[in-house]
Amino acid sequence: VTPAPFTSPLTAPLFGDPEVAALLSEEAFVARMIAVEVALLAACAKTGLADPASAQGAAERLTATTIAPGDLGAGTARDGVPVPALVAMLRQRLGADGSALHVGATSQDIVDTASVLQWRDLLTLMEARLAALLDALLAASEAHAETMMVARTRSQAATPITLGLRIATWAQPLITLEADLPRVRALLLRVQFGGASGSASAVGEGAEVLTNALAAELGLRPAPSWHLDRSGPLALGGWLVGLTTALAKIARDLIVSGRSEIGEIRAGEGGGSSTMPQKSNPVGAEAIVTLAQYAAALQPLLAQAASPLEERDGAAWALEWLALPQMAMAAGAGLRHALALVGSMQADGDRMRGQLAAGQGAVMAEAATVVLARHLPRVEAALCVKDALARAQGEGVPLAQVLADDPDLGPLEDWPACLSPDRAQPAAESMRRRILATRAPRT
C-alpha cells in the first residue's frame, strides 16, 4: 500500500508510533552524527590530539548547526554512507577551525555511534512503556485472581484456570525482557571508534585514551572497536523480537477471546466494517500480530549483517539499517496498541461461566480422575471418568450428577462439590503468584 508503512500519514496511525518515529527520524540521525563529531572534537581537545581552543571553538559552532537530511542524500548514494558528505559540509562551515574535525575517525565510527545514541533513547522509551504495560498486566491479573475460566490447550477446552493466571502468563516473558535490559544496554551502548580499518591507526597510541574520552563525552561505555562485532545490534534485534513476540501472544489470545462465539474478553474499540453494522473488529490486536510476524522475519538479516567480510562489508552493514529501525517501529507500535488493549480489557464473567459448564462439565474430567484415584488405581479411575463423561454427554446430564448417581462411585465423594470449577482456583492462584514473583521489585 505504501513503501513507508511506518511513517506514511495514511498508515502510521495503525502501524507506526509517533514517539519512536521522532527518535529514529532522519533529522534525529543527522543531529546525532553531528553530536558525535562535536564530542570527538571535545575529546581531541581534552586529550591533546587537537589544539584545545580551536577544537573547542569548532565544537561550539557545530552544536548549533543543523543540516537537512536531504542535503546529504546525493552523498549517501555516492559513498554508501552520509558521512563523507557531512564532514565536507561541516568542514566548509568551520573553515580553518575544521582541521580537528573527524580526526582519526571513519564513517562507520560516526554512523554506529550516532545510531547507538538513538538506540539509547529508544530503550529508555521502551523501558518506560514496558514497565507501564507490566504494571497494567499485574493489576489486571490481581483483579482477576478469582475469575474462573476455561483453559484451552490445542484449541480445546482443557481444565479451569483463572483469568488472573492467564494474564500472568502474558506478563511472564515481558518480565524476562525487562530484566534483560541491562545486558542489552551493556552490549549495545558502546562507543565506536576504530578508524579506517578498525585499528584506530590514524591516532596511533592515543587511540584508547581518545576513545575513552569520546565515550565519556557521550555517556557511552568505552570499548574496543566493534566494527566487525555486531553483538550489540544482534542483542537489540533479539530483544525487540522477544518483545513483539510476547505482545503477539496477548493479541492472539484477545482475538480468540473476543470472537463472536466466545466473547469472554473485550478489549479496545472494535473497528468498523464498511458494510456490516454488528462487526467489532479486533484491529489493534491484529496489528500487533502483523507487526510481530514482520519483525521476526527481519531477524535473519541481522545475522547476515553479523558475518561481515574482512574489515568492513558495505552490503552486510547496511542490512542493519533496513532491519533495526523497522523492528523498533514494530515494537513501539505494538506496545502502544498493547497498552490500549490491556487498559480497556473487560471480562464477561457470564460467558466464562457458561463455558465452564459446557459439555456437561467436561473440563472437570481431569479433576474427577484425580479425586477418584484416591479410591481406585489411577488407570482404572481414568477409565471410569471417561465412561462417566461419555454417559453425561450422551444423556445431557452434568458429569458430577452422573458420578453422584453411580451406585459404586456416588458414595465415595461429594461429587458436585469436588467438581466445582472453583476448586481449581488455589492452584491457579499459586502459579500466578509464582510467576509474578519473578519480577524484580521496582526501585
Residues 321-340 that bind a second copy (CB under 8 A): 321-323, 325-326, 328-329
* Cβ 405 to a second copy shortest distance, Å: 19
**What amino acid is encoded at 419 in this protein?**
L
* Residues in binding contact with a second copy, number by CB under 8 A: 193
As a dihedral over the C-alpha atoms of residue 127, residue 131, residue 132, residue 136, rounded to 10 degrees, the angle is 150
Q: How far is the CB of 295 from a second copy (least distance, A)?
A: 8
| Binding residues for a second copy restricted to 256-275, rule: CB under 8 A | 256, 258-262, 269-275
- When asked if residue 73 is in the footprint of a second copy (CB under 8 A), the reply is yes
By rule CB under 8 A, what string of x and - marks binding of each residue 36-65 to a second copy? ------------------------------
Burial 127-148 (b: 16+ CB within 10 A, else e): eebbeebbebbbebbeebbebb
Query: Interface with a second copy includes 369 (CB under 8 A)?
Result: yes
Q: Which of 138, 143, 339, 370 binds a second copy (CB under 8 A)?
A: 370
Q: Measured between alpha carbons, how far is residue 200 from residues 109, 220, 346 in Å?
A: 10, 18, 58
Window 103-122: residues binding a second copy (CB under 8 A): 103, 105-107, 111, 115
Q: Which of 62, 306, 331, 419 binds a second copy (CB under 8 A)?
A: 306
Residue type, 392: A
Determine if 139 is a binding residue for a second copy (CB under 8 A): no
The DSSP-derived string for 130-183 is HHHHHHHHHHHHHHTTT-EEEEEETTEEEEEEEHHHHHHHHHHHHHHHHHHHHH
Residues 379-398 that bind a second copy (CB under 8 A): 379, 382, 385-386, 389
Q: Is 406 in the site for a second copy (CB under 8 A)?
A: no
From the list 56-64, 78-86, 140-148, 400-408, the region that binds a second copy by CB under 8 A is 78-86
Smallest CA-to-CA distance from 49 within 221, 211, 224 is with 211
d(CA 258, CA 410): 39
Q: Which helix (H) or strand (E) holds 102?
A: none
- Which of the stretches 124-132, 277-285, 402-410, 412-420 binds a second copy when contact is defined by CB under 8 A? 277-285
Q: Does 133 participate in binding a second copy (rule CB under 8 A)?
A: no
Least distance in Å: CB of 122 to a second copy? 11
Which of 319, 338, 342, 347 contacts a second copy by CB under 8 A? 319
Residue from 252, 339, 406, 416 touching a second copy (CB under 8 A): that is: 252
**Could you say whether residue 22 binds a second copy (CB under 8 A)?**
no
Nearer to a second copy, 52 or 321 (CB): 321
Is there binding between residue 344 and a second copy (CB under 8 A)? Answer: no
333 touches 286 (CB < 8 A): no
- Tell me the closest approach of the beta carbon of residue 236 to a second copy, in angstroms: 11
User: Of 146, 208, 350, 395, which lies in the binding site for a second copy, with binding defined by CB under 8 A?
Assistant: 208
Residue 38's contacts (CB-CB under 8 Å, 6 or more residues apart) are 59, 62, 63
Residues 187, 235 contacting (CB under 8 angstroms): yes
Tell whether residue 373 is a contact of a second copy (CB under 8 A): yes
Tell me how many degrees the CA angle 176-256-370 measures, rounded to the nearest 5.
75
Nine-digit cell string for 153? 490447550
Q: Is 201 in the site for a second copy (CB under 8 A)?
A: yes
Please list the residues that pair with 281 across neighbouring strands: 271
Is position 276 an interface residue for a second copy (rule: CB under 8 A)? yes
At residue 93, φ and ψ (nearest 5 deg) are: -70, -30
Residue 16 C-beta: closest distance to a second copy, Å:
8
**What is the rounded radius of gyration, in angstroms, for the C-alpha atoms of the chain?**
29
